[in-house]
Amino acid sequence: VDEYQDTNDLQTELVSLLHAPSRNHLFIVGDPRQSIYRFRGANVACFKKMLDRLEHLGGKIISLNENFRSRSSIINFVNEVAAPLGGDPLAAERPEVDPAVFALSIPSPEKTPYEELRREEAATIAAHLKGLFDRKAFVWKDMAILFQAMTTTDLYEQALRAFGIPFRTYGGKRFLDRPEIRDLLSALSFAADPSNTSSLLAILRSPLVGLSDDECVLLAGEKGKDFHKAALSSPRASFIQELLRVKEHLHPSELVRFILKETGYEVICQAIDPAGGKVANLEKFIGLACDLEREIQVTLPAFVEFIQNLIRRGARMGDAPVIDDLNSEVKIMTVHAAKGLEFPVVVLPDLIRQPSNATEPWCFVRGRGVSFKQRDPKFPFAPLVAPETFTELRKQDECEEEAESRRLLYVAMTRARDHLVLPIHPEHPTKGRWHRWITPHLEKVETITVNEVKGLTPERRLGGGASPELAEGLGEGFPLPRLSPKSGLVPSRSNTVTVSQLESFDRCPQEYYLKYQLLLPSGVLLAKHPERLSAPVKGSILHNALLMLAKNKTAHVHDLIAAECQALGISCDDATIHELAAPLQSFMKSPLFDDFHQGQHELRFDAIVEDRLITGKIDWLRQGKTGYEIVDFKTDRIDGGCEERAKNYELQMTTYALAIEMALGVSIERTILYFLHPQKTFEMAMSDGRRDEGRKKIAAILNRIAAKDFHLNSFTPPCVHPKTTCTYHINKLCWLDRQQ
C-alpha cells in the first residue's frame, strides 16, 4: 500500500482485515511528514499504528532518508525548519555548487496593508523569475509557484502577465471563476433571461460595455425610473439590443463568438494579457459549448444552467493552455497538487497568509467526540456560548491543524531541486505561520537576510461615525458626535490611497511612480545576513510590546520582550532583551505613560478626500484637555535633533488628524511624535492654518496622482543627499539617474 500516511481509520481497518500473516504479506510505503490530507479524513496516526502492528508481527522497517532530488543546502534548510515534525533528517546525495535557498527581502512601510504587501511581493517574484530566465539560468518550464490555496493567485498572475511571463494554472476551480468567463456568462445569462437585473448590471460594468459605477447609478436615476429601459436605450449598450435580437437564431457557441466580435472583447483580453491566457480561456469556453452541442440539442437557457451547475458544484477545471508546448510555461498550482512532483525552481508565495478561523458552532475531534456551542435559554437572542468541552476540543483541533500545516510546508519545500525562493517581509508582522516558522532559520543560509516580523493586533475600521465602543474606550465626559452618512458613492478600490502612498509621493514623486505605478520592488532582493537584529525587527518587537503594555500597565517589560521574541522564533540573549527593554522602561517613566491604558491603540481609519479613500492606522488616539491627541511612536534611532526628523513625518501626522476629524467629527488638539531613541517628544498643535495647508497638500498630491503627473519639476529629491537609502536611486532606476 503506497502513500500510507494518507489513509484514514476505515482504510486502516480494511487493510488489517485483508492482511493475514499466515496467507499473505503486507508491504507499506509512507512518510508521516507528508501527511497533508487531514481535511479529507486522513489520520497520520494510522501510519504509526500500522508500523507498531507490523513490528509486533516480526516485520521489518526500512528507513529511506537519502534524497537524490534536492541540493544539499535545500535539504539542510528543510531539516531545520521541519525539525518539530520529528523523524530522521534527510541526507542529501547531490553535490553543492552554489547557494540554493534564496530569500527575497521585500522592504515596505511598517503599516502597509496586507493586499499591498502581496501586490509588491507578486511583482518581486515575477522580476526574480524574469531575471533567472534572462540570465539563461533556467527556462520557464523549470519554474513552479506553489500556493497554500488557489484562492490567492490573482495578484501573482497579474504580475506574471505584466512581466510577459507565460504561465498555466493547474487544478483548482479557477477557470469558471476567471473574469473573462464571468463576463461571458453574464451576457449569456441576460440573453437567456432579460429580466435578470443582476446580469444586466454585470454586463454594463464589464469591458463588454464598460460603464463605470457612477454611470450605472445615473442610468437608474430617480426612484421609479425603469432601469432596464434606460440601460437598453444607452448608446453605449447598443450591443445588448443586438444580443437580444440574434439570440434565438444562434447556438450558444455561436452566440459567444457573436459577443466577442461585436464588442472586440477578444482584443481587450489580448491587450490585458499579452501572454494569451485570457484568450485561451475564451476559446476553451467556446469549446465547452461546442462539445455540449455535439452531445445534445442544447438551448441557451439549458447551457447557462449547465455552467451555473458546474459552478455550484465546485467543478475543478483548470485554465486552458496558452501554447501547445505546456513545458514552456511557469506552473501555478497548490502544494497538494505538486505532491510527488519536482521542479528545478520552486517559489513559495504568500508566506504571510493567515489561516482561516473556524466559525462553526460545533467541533469534532477524532477519539474525543463532538461538542456544540450552546444558547442560554434565558437569553435566546444572545450569542452562542462555548462550553469548556468545546473550548478544549477546539484547541486540540487547532493543534492538529497546525501540525498539518507544518507537514504541508515540508512537502512544499521538498519539491525544489535547485532553487528554493522564499519571499520575506522584514518590516511586517508574521501573520502567517509559514513566515513565522521559516524566518528564524534564514540566518543559517548564505546570502539570506533574516527577516523576522511581529504579529498583528486586531484593527478597528472607522466609518461615518464613532462606535459606542470607541466612545467608551476614549473616556467618559467627552461626547463623540455621530456624522450623518454623506451622499455619493464610496470610491472603488482603485481610488484608494494609503497614508504610506501619500508619504511616498511627498518624499519623491518618482519613488511613488516606480513603487506604486510600475510595481517595481522597493528594496534590494538579496542581502547578506546582518550580525544583529535589524532596525525594522527591533521596531516590530517594540511596537508589539507597547500594545501589550497598553493592555497591562503592570506587565514586566523584560517578560514582554522575551515573550515577543519567543513568539517570533527569535533567539535573544539577556543582553539583547535588556537593550530592547531599556527604551520601554524609560517610556514608562514619562508623563505619556500615565494614561497609556486609555484611548484606542492601533486604530484603523478610512476617510474620503477629493473622491479618494485614504486609509491608514494610528498608534494611539487619546483624550486631551480640549480635544483629542494622536500619538505615534518612532523606534528608529536618532543621533541628531528630533525637530529635523519630525519634519519628515508632518504630512503623515496631519493626514491622521484630518482623517480622524472627518471620520469621527471630533477635534484633534495636537499630534505627538514620541521617539523612543533618545526618549524625546515632539508636539505640534493642530491649528487651522496647519489644517488648511494639510488639505491643500493632500489635494495637490491626489490631483497629481489622478493626472499621473510624476515629474520632479523643481522638486529636489532626497537622493541628492550623500547618505540616501533610496534603492531606486542606488539601482539607477529613477528618472533623475537616467538623465545623468
CA–CA distance from 25 to each of 15, 19, 62 (Å)?
Answer: 11, 7, 16
- Break the chain into its structural domains and give their ranges: 4-56, 101-171+326-365+396-444, 175-312, 461-529+598-740
**Which amino acid does the sequence have at 295?**
E
User: Within its chain, how far is the Cα of 251 from the centroid?
Assistant: 41
| pLDDT score recorded for residue 607 | 74
What percentage of the chain reaches a pLDDT higher than 90? Answer: 13
Q: Domain 461-529+598-740 classified CATH 3.90.320?
A: yes
Average pLDDT over every residue of 627-651: 81
User: CA neighbours within 13 Å on the CB side: how many for 436?
Assistant: 20
Label residue 14 by pLDDT band (50, 70, 90).
very high
Residue type, 32: P
Residues 6 or more apart whose CB falls under 8 angstroms from that of 206 comprise 182, 183, 186
d(CA 45, CA 35): 10
The pLDDT of residue 693: 93
pLDDT band of 232, cuts 50, 70, 90: confident
pLDDT at residue 609 greater than cutoff 80: no
Q: Are 351 and 432 in contact (CB under 8 A)?
A: yes
Which of 44-58, 469-483, 607-621 shows the highest mean pLDDT?
A: 44-58
Is the separation of the CB atoms in 317 and 309 below 8 Å? no
- Apex 71 CA angle, 408 and 47, nearest 5: 35
Cα 656 from Cα 650, distance rounded (Å)? 10
Residue 16 pLDDT > 50, yes or no?
A: yes
The SS3 call for residue 682 is strand
**Predicted local distance difference test score (pLDDT) of residue 538:** 78
Burial of 728 (0-12, 13-18, 19+ CB in 10 A): buried
Q: Which amino acid is at 516?
A: Y
Contact 352, 432 (CB under 8 A): yes
Answer whether 0.75 is exceeded by the pTM.
no
pLDDT at 448: 36
HEC assignment per residue over 136-197: CCCCHHHEEEEECCHHHCHHHHHHHHHCCCCEEECCCCCHHHCHHHHHHHHHHHHHHCCCCH
Q: Any idea which of 308-317, 473-482, 682-691 has the lowest mean pLDDT?
A: 473-482
Q: Is the pLDDT of residue 353 over 80?
A: yes
Cell numbers standing for residue 473: 474606550
How are beta strands 330-334 and 143-147 bridged, if at all? Answer: parallel
Q: Which residues contact 337 (CB under 8 A, 6 or more apart)?
A: 170, 171, 172
Q: How many angstroms separate the CA atoms of 43 and 656, rounded?
A: 51
Determine the Cα–Cα distance for residues 633 and 620; give it in Å rounded to an integer: 9
pLDDT given at position 403: 86
pLDDT at 454: 28
- Whether 462 shows a pLDDT value over 50: the answer reads no
Which among 622, 556, 552, 551 has a CA at the least distance from the CA of 585? Answer: 556
Q: Which of residues 515 and 50 earns the better pLDDT score?
A: 50
CATH of domain 101-171+326-365+396-444: 3.40.50.300
39 contact partners, CB below 8 Å, separation of at least 6: 404
Please, are residues 70 and 414 in contact by the beta-carbon 8 Å criterion? yes
Nearest Cα neighbor of 514 from 321, 710, 669 is 710
> Tens digits of per-residue pLDDT, 382-413?
788 888 888 888 888 888 888 888 889 989 99
pLDDT number for residue 211: 79
CATH node for 175-312 = 1.10.486.10
Q: How far is CA 155 from each of CA 119, 121, 516, rounded to the nearest angstrom?
A: 6, 9, 14
Query: Radius of gyration of the chain from Cα atoms?
Result: 29
Cβ atoms of 690 and 650 within 8 Å: the answer is no
* 503-514 pLDDT per residue, tens: 888 888 888 888
Please list, residue by residue across 281-311, b when 16 or more beta carbons sit within 10 angstroms of its beta carbon and e when fewer do: bbebbbebbeebeeeeebebeebbeebeebe
d(CA 304, CA 286): 13
Q: How many CB atoms lie within 10 A of CB 738?
A: 8
Averaged pLDDT for residues 563-578: 72
Q: Write down the pLDDT at residue 349.
A: 93
What pLDDT sits at residue 17? 92
Task: Please give the Cα distance from 398 to 531 (Å, whole number).
Answer: 36
Contact 418, 345 (CB under 8 A): yes
Nearest to 102 by CA among 52, 64, 54, 137: 137
Range from 65-79, 249-263, 266-280, 587-601 carrying the lowest mean pLDDT: 65-79
Q: Which three cell numbers stand for residue 366?
A: 477524532
Average pLDDT over the chain, rounded to an integer? 78
Buried/exposed code over 158-175 (b: 16+ C-beta within 10 A; e: otherwise): bbbbbbebbbbbbbbbbb
Phi, psi for residue 88 in degrees, rounded to 5: -75, 140
As a whole number of angstroms, the longest Cα–Cα distance in the chain is: 94
pLDDT at position 528 is: 37
In angstroms, the CA 67 to CA 56 distance is 29
438 pLDDT band, cuts 50/70/90, is confident
pLDDT of residue 269: 84
